[in-house]
């Protein structure tokens, strides 16, 4: 599938679209990292729909535990128009049909690139979860330096290490 994914990316012309069925590994495995970077640098992921092959509803001869991606990419020269739209995962035909009526989780390609070192696409239970994830990711990381405050880990008091904070003998 890796060679085919690269070839599809090479063949799609400016403002052209390609639709392809690939394993989920294409959008999350480290071996496809360079392909994701190349695709996000030149294309918009018009739709990425994940299907859980539960009971073989997608492909009866494929492993039922596999997650399969339906990808639609459009090559565009305008970096500001590059986006990623995510649907799913769906584990049945009825879930797929009703799920596609819901709005997709939508992010800019730049946002997706900022979330991880390998440009991995998130796989969350539903489009609602994707919207929540996007909202969380739209804010700075807690570890990001700030002038007005600093986030740091807290721990509970320890009777040995923190005994100077306790008052002993008071009634």
Question: Rounded distance, CA 40 to CA 119, Å?
Answer: 9
Average pLDDT over residues 52-72: 93
The tokens 């995962």 sit on which residue? 89
Tens of pLDDT along 88-111?
899 999 999 998 898 888 888 988
Question: Rounded distance, CA 78 to CA 19, Å?
Answer: 20
Answer for the pair 106, 85: CB distance below 8 angstroms, yes or no. Answer: yes
pLDDT(146) > 90: no
Q: What's the pTM value of the predicted model, to 2 decimals? A: 0.78
């Amino acid at each position: 599938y890796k060679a085919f994914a690269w070839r599809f990316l090479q063949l799609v012309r400016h403002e052209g679209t390609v639709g392809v069925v690939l394993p989920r590994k294409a959008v999350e495995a480290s071996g496809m990292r360079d392909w994701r970077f190349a695709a996000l640098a030149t294309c918009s992921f018009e739709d990425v729909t994940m299907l859980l092959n539960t009971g073989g509803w997608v492909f009866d001869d494929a492993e039922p535990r596999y997650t399969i991606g339906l990808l639609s990419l459009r090559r565009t020269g305008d970096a500001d128009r590059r986006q990623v739209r995510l649907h799913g995962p769906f584990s049945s035909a009825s879930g797929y049909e009703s799920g596609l009526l819901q709005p997709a989780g939508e992010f800019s390609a730049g946002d997706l690139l900022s979330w991880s070192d390998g440009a991995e696409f998130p796989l969350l239970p539903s489009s609602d979860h994707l919207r929540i994830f996007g909202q969380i990711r739209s804010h700075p990381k807690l570890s990001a330096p700030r002038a007005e405050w600093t986030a740091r880990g807290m721990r509970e008091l320890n009777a040995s290490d923190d005994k100077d904070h306790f008052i002993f003998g008071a009634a």
